Amino acid sequence: MTDLTRFAEYDDFMAYAEATLPQPTFNHLNAGALTNWTRDENRRAYDRWVIRKRLLVDVSDTDLSTTVLGTRVEMPVLLAPSAFHKFVHPDGELATARAAKAMGTTMCLSTLSSTPLEDVAATGVDCWLQLQIHKDRGLTTELVDRAAAAGYKGIAFTVDAPNYGLKPSDRRSEIHLPTGVQIANLIDRKTLPHYSTGEDLMKYMWDEMAQDVTWDDAAWLCDYSPLPVIAKGVLSGVDAENAITAGMAAIIVSNQGGRQIDGDPATLDVLPEVLDAVDGRVEVLVDGGVRTGAHVFKALAIGARAVLLGRPQYWGLAVGGEEGLKHMLGVFREGLENTMQLAGVKRVADVQRDLVMPAPR
């Protein structure tokens, strides 16, 4: 087994994944749209904020726990929906679920997972299901019903993907799927080609997704679902208001890790605008570019309830499956706790806006 003590920060995990995964697989998972500008801007946005620490504060009993949609999590770091975890480890989403459960946090399972949603729920992890509205509305409601029956706690509705973003690396890469990997939640409808370009794979997966979805359809989903619905992909105050009007229980500020429009703003840059529009009516979370515990701290200080990690899941799984991802989450936990202590706060609720400021130019 890989010596996990060698992995002390995000870049260690990513470098290992790049060196050990098939190059087409790594390129597909790491790609942003077109030039990767938005993908990289997500990360750069965290450098545009600095921390204003408080001094001589008793931080001897730091507590990282909080609640998200009323559920306690041991740290405000959740796992974002990401497809096909069996791309990087044979245990796939089961390893992810076990790691999330062990670390006391919430996992959001992609509809395009390589493990059935019921099998993931059987691990006992606190889980949401990500979905889009399909051309077949019966398939959409079937997925919601299956999630509710399996004990899921929420539906993360992706609102910004009527199509997939263009990725030149996908056009060039020839993806060779691991034997037996399929869209496990749609197994009766979709059999993936075993060998294709990354772009062909994305087109094939997106064939079921509706492109005529409006906020009226979002309201329909909220009315139908017995679970709270979270809007994932909001990048403006206007659409935050639309999401609340439609009945969304929470908002995730997200640009899908820069995989949609190459030119989307960084999520951290628009987080203040979304928070102002929401004005405390629903919880607001954020993903994209989170790579350290200090990044988590900055997002919380600006006003996010929690952050979600996307690509880091793949790199943690590539290093060591469940144990590798647990170790990565531990690195984030340690980094957040250390930042909180050095900044002079002992509880997540104490991470307030006056603890950060825009970086001097």
The arithmetic mean of pLDDT across residues 78-91, rounded, is 96
Predicted confidence at residue 172, as pLDDT, reads: 84
Contact 46, 298 (CB under 8 A): yes
DSSP per residue over 46-77, as a string?
Answer: GGGEEE----S---TT-B--EEETTEEESSSE
Q: Is 274 helix (H, G, I), strand (E, B) or coil?
A: helix
Burial 186-215 (b: 16+ CB within 10 A, else e): beeeeebeeebbbbebbeebeebbeeebee
| 198: pLDDT strictly greater than 80 | no
d(CA 320, CA 3): 9
Higher pLDDT, 193 or 257: 257
Nearest alpha carbon to residue 339 among 6, 59, 46? 59
The arithmetic mean of pLDDT across residues 27-40, rounded, is 95
Angle at alpha carbon of residue 160, lines to 155 and 165, rounded to 5°: 125
| 192: pLDDT strictly greater than 80 | no
Could you tell me the CATH superfamily of domain 4-358?
Aldolase class I (3.20.20.70)
Q: What are the tens digits of pLDDT across the range 293-348?
A: 999 999 999 999 999 999 999 999 999 999 999 999 999 999 999 999 999 999 99
Residue type, 186: L
DSSP per residue over 211-259, as a string?
Answer: S---HHHHHHHHHH-SS-EEEEEE-SHHHHHHHHHHT-SEEEE--GGGT
Contact 316, 325 (CB under 8 A): yes
- Residue in this structure with the two tokens 């979709």, named with its chain if needed: 190
d(CA 271, CA 146): 32
Domain boundaries, the chain: 4-358
% of the chain beyond a pLDDT of 70: 98
Contact 317, 88 (CB under 8 A): yes
| 8: pLDDT strictly greater than 90 | yes
Nearest alpha carbon to residue 317 among 42, 113, 146, 74? 113
Residues forming beta bridges with residue 50, ordered by sequence position: 357
Residues forming beta bridges with residue 209, ordered by sequence position: 134
